[in-house]
Amino acid sequence: MRLAYGLRQGLQGTFTSIRQFNRNIRLLLIASIFGGIASGLIDINFNLYILSLGITPDSLGQILSAGPFAHVLSSIPIGFLGEALGYRAAFLIIYAVTGISQIVQAAAGNAPLIAIAGFVGGLAVSGNFVVRIPFLAANSTPAQRVHVFTLNSVLNGLAYALGSLLAGYLPNLLQRLGLELTLQYRYTLIFAGVLTLLAALPMICLHAPPIPAERRHKISLSPYLWRIERFTIEASAVELFIGLTLGLIVPFMNIFFIYNLGVTREYYSTIVALSVLPVTLMTIFGPLLAFHFGKGHTIVASRYLIPLSTLILALTAQAQIGTGALWAYRALFTMSQALWFAYAMDLASARSKMATSAWLEITFWLGQGVAALITGSLLARSNTSLPFYLSTGAALITALLTHWIVHSKSPGKAPVAPVEV
């Protein structure tokens, strides 16, 4: 009874907070719907499109690493420009450049051009995280913050699920027009790029609220480089292993399911779409668990469970078992990341929120870029299980580092000043 009462009270508090979100947050969430649908369309079909062009798996790994390495180079400039130009201009640039690069990638027919377009797009895509996280924090109160990040993750997940479902069946509709397989994928991906461009429209209506006196500070590169806060360094180390965990398997998951577990594209797109159910449930219950057990402890517990799902994926030869493990992985990952971003923004100082967000982006995508090269090379040698074992190891290191950070930041621990580097 106490649990049911607590859940009811928690849900009521969540819905009350959602109704109080300001106009800026609502506009960004609308843009996220367009972007999420586009991401679902791309993630299901992009690898299959590349392979349909006759490009080898190791070259696919190089193509997939271009975007992440661009994120590494652009995250600090994007974060600095986001502070200098303002959120509205930053988001408009991000969505416009990203959408155009996605269209060019789909229209190009050879690996170098696709990689170059992916690199250019990656320069902009990094800003979607770097600018989004402090934007959500700046437009929410501390009491709303967990709910803001949770709803952001839930809506992204729902939109991504819709895009994934469309991705499985849209090529079939194009097939009825007499188009060959490569063209089916190409036009599906071009449609996704157009959706990303449409995400820029709500950003035109953003307005910059007055900056509270306690948050006003001179924009400087010092929080990014020579006076990085210790927490920024610690959180970035964790994010590097999160990137490795994800990058070793997730960008190649469609290949694993279709070519190793023998499922169809339609089956895979459907299970990815249906994963929105466990993902949404876990993400919604995340704040409730954080309320009862503490935000840090909830993050740590979920991250200790993630290696179990990647290990099952490494061992199974059954599509049904793989589906369950994939759902568990996506649900735990999404919930823990939503709480982790809110946790990071709580601990980062006002001066370093954008810098912390930028370094989290840098290390996450550095891990993803390295991981894509590793997995692409392994797939070229027909080794499909080792990426999952390596991902399991990276996930375990992530959990251990997160545990250490949460313990060091627990009540009673002295705050640590910024460090010179």
**Which pLDDT band holds residue 87 (cuts at 50, 70, 90)?**
confident
* Token pair listed for 120: 């250019």
CA Rg value for the chain: 21
Average confidence score pLDDT of the chain? 83
Predicted confidence at residue 12, as pLDDT, reads 53
Q: Where are the chain's structural domains? A: 9-205+220-408
Tell me the pTM.
Answer: 0.75
Q: How far apart are CA 148 and CA 130, in angstroms?
A: 16
List alpha helices for 265-318, DSSP H.
265-274, 276-293, 295-315
Amino acid at 309: S
Nearest to 378 by CA among 255, 194, 242, 207: 255
Collapse the DSSP code of 263 into the 3-class scheme (helix H, G, I; strand E, B; otherwise coil) and give the result.
coil
List alpha helices for 20-110, DSSP H.
23-52, 57-85, 87-107
Residue with tokens 């895979």: 268
Structural contact between residues 289 and 233, judged by C-beta atoms closer than 8 angstroms = no
Predicted confidence at residue 342, as pLDDT, reads 80
Q: How far apart are CA 225 and CA 397, in angstroms?
A: 26
Determine the distance from the C-alpha atom of residue 415 to the mean position of all C-alpha atoms in its chain, rounded to a whole number: 29
Predicted confidence at residue 79, as pLDDT, reads 66
Predicted confidence at residue 223, as pLDDT, reads 58
Does the domain spanning 9-205+220-408 belong to CATH 1.20.1250.20? yes
* Token pair listed for 224: 């990014």
Question: How does pLDDT run across 321-344, given as a tens digit for each residue?
Answer: 999 999 999 999 988 888 887 888
Structural contact between residues 239 and 126, judged by C-beta atoms closer than 8 angstroms = no
Q: How far apart are CA 412 and CA 51, in angstroms?
A: 55
Residue with tokens 């798996």: 57
Predicted confidence at residue 209, as pLDDT, reads 52
Q: How far apart are CA 136 and CA 151, in angstroms?
A: 11
Q: Is pLDDT above 90 for 4? A: no
Amino acid at 107: A
Predicted confidence at residue 335, as pLDDT, reads 87
**Cβ-defined contacts of 252-255 (< 8 Å, 24+):** 252/47, 252/375, 252/376, 252/379, 252/387, 253/326, 254/43, 254/44, 254/47, 254/48, 255/47, 255/48, 255/51, 255/57, 255/379
Structural contact between residues 409 and 294, judged by C-beta atoms closer than 8 angstroms = no
Q: Could you report how far apart the first and last alpha carbons of the chain are, in Å?
A: 53
**Which pLDDT band holds residue 415 (cuts at 50, 70, 90)?**
very low
Q: How far apart are CA 171 and CA 181, in angstroms?
A: 8
Comparing 158 with 388, which gets the higher pLDDT? 388
Predicted confidence at residue 260, as pLDDT, reads 87
